[in-house]
Structure 1
Amino acid sequence: MKPLNEMFDVTYGNKFDLNKMKVVDGASSGDWVNFVGRSSGNHGVSARVRPVAGAAPFEAGLITVALGGTKLLASFVQMRPFYTAQNVAVLRPQAKLSFAEKLFICLAIRHNRFRYSAFGREANRTLRTLLIPEPEEFPKWVQDQDTSVLETDFANVEEQPQAPMYTGGWKSFLLSDLFDIKKGKRLTKANMQPGPIPFISAIDSNNGLRQRVKVAPLHPANVITVNYNGNGVADAYFQREPFWASDDVNILYPKFSVDLPVALFICTIIRREKYRFSYGRKWGLERMKASAIKLPAVPNGQPDWNLTAICERSTPRVSAIVTGVFVRPSKFLCRMGFLCKAGISGGTQH
């Protein structure tokens, strides 16, 4: 383990205020620079802004760290030149690091969040001395990861043209009309022996995959899992291989032909229902069967699967999923006008 300042030159950013910058919308042309704040979403990027005379942006490839706020120690590798807000540190490697190594360091920094508290003990004074693993201590899987999809497909997302806003009709559909909904089954720790089968639990990351176990799968590939309990309630994931799901998860078997783009579209719509549920109001099996979601519809009242497929295929991030990297496309759907036009506001970030 080494102090952070023995591996990086640590600076404290531009300390710009966004309300004093000239913000650029997504469709604007001309020069612009990413503005990195203390958010834990969207790579910490709060906006695009016009360049400031006399202020050179930080170069791409550096790490930003939020030093305060509710998302303290949110850390990201910036893919484009950027400015920073107040209380954002910038880490410049003293030695060459691969993209995968930088991502691992971001993860290591975030795991120190428990040491701090928002608006109390923040990281301004102690970030430099924070202990992180040295490259020789990194797990072997860090070097084995193929991060090319993150460096290419993700970096090029902003270069894609904006799709036209969809202004067609939407209709509510009962989940039980679209899916056969089944409940997962408890698997005791004694039976969680390492193996090849995905064990899907009610977590809010990693496509719901908690670990791989040595059991016979209970559910087939190409179905959707939805957490009805836990921190990830209403998080929905498309499962691409047979699996076992815990009893905190409901499994949606499509009554229609489903492919990856359509499944991801539906997962995004289901997540928009998150605000309706909590630890005290779970999304149990019977309640889920009686719940409805909004989907684009054709004149005869049936879901417009062709439209949802076109929508998702126009989303460059979908390609990342094929390589095993799970991402959430709701930000792009909202840019395209799908979610906002449908009146699906929900309580989730996008």
Structure 2
Amino acid sequence: MKMEPLRPILFHPHIPEIEYIEQTLLPDIYEVRKAQTVEELAGAIRRLGIRGAPALGCAGACGVALSALVAKAGTFLEFLFLVRSDAERLRETRPTAVNLFYGIDFVLSAVLTSSSIEEAKCNAVDAAKAVIDADTRTCHAIGKTGLSVIPDTARILTHCNAGALACAEWGTALGVIRSAHEAGKNISVYACETRPLLQGARLTTWELLRDGIDVTLITDSMAAVLMRKRKIDLVIVGADRIVSDAVFNKIGTYMHAVCAKAHNIPFFIAAPLSTFDEENSEDKVIVEERNPDEVRKFRGCVTGPELVPVWNPAFDGTPVDLVTGIITEYGIFSLPRDIETIKQLKRGKDMGET
């Protein structure tokens, strides 16, 4: 029986509130929580209750709309100040994933170009819905684009979670895998656990099992030996930001890219056009460093001495020369070769369009 699509973020402007799947509890507990204030939403983003670059774009968009709906202001200028302040609060939650900023700015622009509080509320709601709808269409388009790189029988390695839980629906890297499975291709997946928070183990395997897709869980350090044994045909991962010379994704991605290159295995990124930050380079990107206790502990279990120093970056940069292709809703691109094409597409594309 086909499962209902996963939709990790739902916006209910008539209440108003944002419903979201609390991803820190999976796979043990499936719990839908509600954010009725921007601070509650910001807390969910910071603790990774909501995560994944496209999903953060949707959350940022809905957060600004929520701010517009709940703002208590006597004048339009006071209203704009409150919404701008909430937008900045959301912007500060995660510094690396560029989709968050796109979602915030798209809805904020709709607010700032309005001429009254009531008009701004309506425009904000419409803009937030447009972001979610566009992401849904985009992920399905990415899945169709990616079909061309998937052999009829394929063993695919993926890292972290770039599935429906990380988007409005369907997924990017897992969207390609879902589309291939739906098209009748014989797909099997190796999911890396993704230390330190185990998004691959907790989320990716849960999604794929739910959809009846063959998946095997491995530790991050097992990927290289699988490649050497010729048990991996290609690697597909998502992205949190793509700059002119590097792809930023969950820490550990670079290691897999190096290993794939050494074993002549194609290494693909699946991401929407909104993930490109092509005007910047790797050295300009702030990489989020997270709480050391994410490494020293896990769900109350001690995994390292309390006083040991910890380096805990959330992301790493993979040089573009290690990437076979970037699967988008508009085709498969290569950097730096296609950077002008990408710029032209972005100039002609609106966040609420496909």
Same fold (TM over 0.5): no
Q: TM-score by structure 1 length?
A: 0.25
The answer to which structure has the higher helix fraction is 2
The answer to which structure has the higher strand fraction is 1
Q: TM-score by structure 2 length?
A: 0.25
